[in-house]
Structure 1
């Protein structure tokens, strides 16, 4: 109905069928049926009623409402009690159209979302217009100087801004010279991709978070990925002594450390608790964020062990890490460890069903068994619940 207010399609007058009582319902509860018909007949200010004859052969002829006929969309909106909302919607559409006529198209695609956003939609439209007119600005989102626009606003409205920019780019391509049409269409298609879809492969150019993907898509600067690590070799002091260091991914990739073994773990306490060992480095993984390790080519010359949670998402993270470094071996992610700690099993909230192609045969068996509930319903063993003596025997043989 909101779309019909803006772009009439000839839908009105509009007939709305009514679910009316049957002859049996009339016989069993005549008072309720009569009250229903009377209520509809008394509220005919916004519609006219069509009636049918019901019950002629059972309890006698009764004229019951069969359909309501609305002459205009405004009449039906008024009957629904939404006149005030419809006026607000038209005001918002007018505001968007004043900013750029192409934005009217977005309003028609998302009428209820526009109502829900209210004035924030106009602010999001101003951001989309700025992005259209300032491709690849090379600044941080924080530096965007538009009224009412701040980092948190961008974070909360990324998808709307992307959709609006796509509409604007489509409008621009329609007015462009023929040789510019293809380029503008490609940009619009890229902008219309769902902003927060996860990367399936952490290859070149992948972005780890929705914010990072938004920044990359629009040419904003984004804080660099960072790597946190500990050098476990006491004979090789790092930076004058500290053994817990965080550097940018670029700096990590340029390191030349005298290590032969690298242990990646997802749990902070495990990371901090790993004991000293010659020529060994520990990395705090932090979930699906292995983009920071992609360009550290020197890791290919090391034995890399990955220790994640023994659940489906732990194997999924392992699979994605191998997209960056295929030689990674898992540790403490085997069936023997799982069964030896059944007293510590928990429940995985949303088990993964993804097809993982980079697991070994043994890993695939455990992954599929977890996903199929062969050990029990949504079983998981968090890495911090594995006995420390058991862990050290397998991590540092």
Structure 2
């Protein structure tokens, strides 16, 4: 015997798995009405649980909700004539949404789906992927999204920076969190749903140049640059810089790089994160000794692994077990570990430490941020790495 709460839980699961499909087609032949049988008991079963049957009938007598409730009559020898709830028929998604408390979201999503597909029929199959956008965006955000799609679709090769698009309220913060949906829907409108997904390429927009922050640590090298020692410039400009350092340090965090003192023949590149692929664009780096120093955590080793695909000879400093264990009091927890089981570009020693971090041998998701390494220890190791 299904109580109203049992039916609600069943319909909640059905809504969760089917609501996107329902958005496309509405009622389909054979799908609606959706009938839910309520489990009418036999007389023998009813006799074994008379109070339970009474509570079940009472619950449905007080029921108010979407769909149509059907009752049946049973003539039982011991219990006489009984009127019992037999099945619930739901005429469409709106009835299911009413049952599970999703009426407002369903109606809003359906209305916006119809608005966008009336304007762009090509989006009919793609929009249900973004049900939550349709259901939960405020009116201002929804209209802004529609106008952004309209403008880019009409101006596919504008070569403007995103902030130059004449759509009110589409500032950088708003746009950054919506690049995925915009490029996806524009690709569909352009008839190329499986093609280029890069937001700027797909939308015909100009990306801001990727800046590289680098410090020149050798006074002689700085003299070649007119005394310039702290450089932030597009990668292609750094690639053509007129110096040839002997030693290149790559550090994960900005303040670490800022802490470096002068070193002969050296530069330090800072705060690339996972964008270490730009190192492959620096021809002068191929003739230098390159040394990477990152956080001792799974992402630090993942960045190192990625960097070695561009600089196979890349060495490390201060990314070893002795450094980790001697700074135990400064450990913090790495909130989300890197997903890879193994990183093929690591050395055996690095791989062993990576596995220790992944399997929590040292502690729960241990992380030692490079800025926390005692500077007297760090600076000695840095100097020794280039002797």
TM-score (norm 2): 0.79
| Native 8 Å contact 1:253 1:293 kept in 2 | no
Counterpart of 2:195 in structure 1 is 190
| Native 8 Å contact 1:95 1:122 kept in 2 | no
- Quote how far apart the aligned CAs of 1:307 are: 0.5
What secondary structure does 1:102 align onto? Answer: helix
User: Could you say if the C-alpha distance between residues 369 and 15 of structure 1 is closer, same or farther in structure 2, counting changes exceeding 3 Å?
Assistant: same
| Native 8 Å contact 1:47 1:75 kept in 2 | no
User: Could you say if the C-alpha distance between residues 13 and 347 of structure 1 is closer, same or farther in structure 2, counting changes exceeding 3 Å?
Assistant: closer
* Equivalent of residue 284 in structure 1, options 270, 274, 294: 270
Q: Residue deviations 1:83-107, cap 9 Å, x none?
A: 6665544542342133222233334
Counterpart of 2:214 in structure 1 is 229
Matched, 1:135 2:156: yes
| Native 8 Å contact 2:293 2:319 kept in 1 | yes
* Equivalent of residue 307 in structure 1, options 293, 303, 323: 293
What secondary structure does 1:358 align onto? Answer: coil
| Native 8 Å contact 1:128 1:165 kept in 2 | yes
Paired residues for 1:192-207 under 5 Å: none
* Equivalent of residue 38 in structure 1, options 51, 61, 67: 61
* Equivalent of residue 339 in structure 2, options 350, 353, 359: 353
Counterpart of 1:168 in structure 2 is 189
Q: Residue deviations 1:106-161, cap 9 Å, x none?
A: 34554454222364445434433443443333221112224554444432322322
* Structure 2 segments unaligned to the other structure (5+ residues): 1-18
Counterpart of 2:10 in structure 1 is none
* Structure 1 segments unaligned to the other structure (5+ residues): 171-186, 194-212
| Native 8 Å contact 2:35 2:89 kept in 1 | yes
Matched, 1:384 2:338: no
The number of residues matched between the two structures is 358
User: Could you say if the C-alpha distance between residues 235 and 147 of structure 1 is closer, same or farther in structure 2, counting changes exceeding 3 Å?
Assistant: closer
Q: Residue deviations 1:318-365, cap 9 Å, x none?
A: 111112222211111011211222222222111223131111111111
User: Could you say if the C-alpha distance between residues 20 and 388 of structure 1 is closer, same or farther in structure 2, counting changes exceeding 3 Å?
Assistant: farther
What secondary structure does 1:396 align onto? Answer: helix
Name which of structure 1's ranges 338-347 and 103-112 shifts more when overlaid on structure 2. 103-112
User: Could you say if the C-alpha distance between residues 24 and 302 of structure 1 is closer, same or farther in structure 2, counting changes exceeding 3 Å?
Assistant: farther
- The whole-number CA distance in structure 2 between the counterparts of 1:396 and 1:319 is 24
- The whole-number CA distance in structure 2 between the counterparts of 1:5 and 1:58 is 51
TM-score (norm 1): 0.78
Name which of structure 1's ranges 60-69 and 374-383 shifts more when overlaid on structure 2. 60-69
What secondary structure does 1:251 align onto? Answer: helix
Counterpart of 1:275 in structure 2 is 261
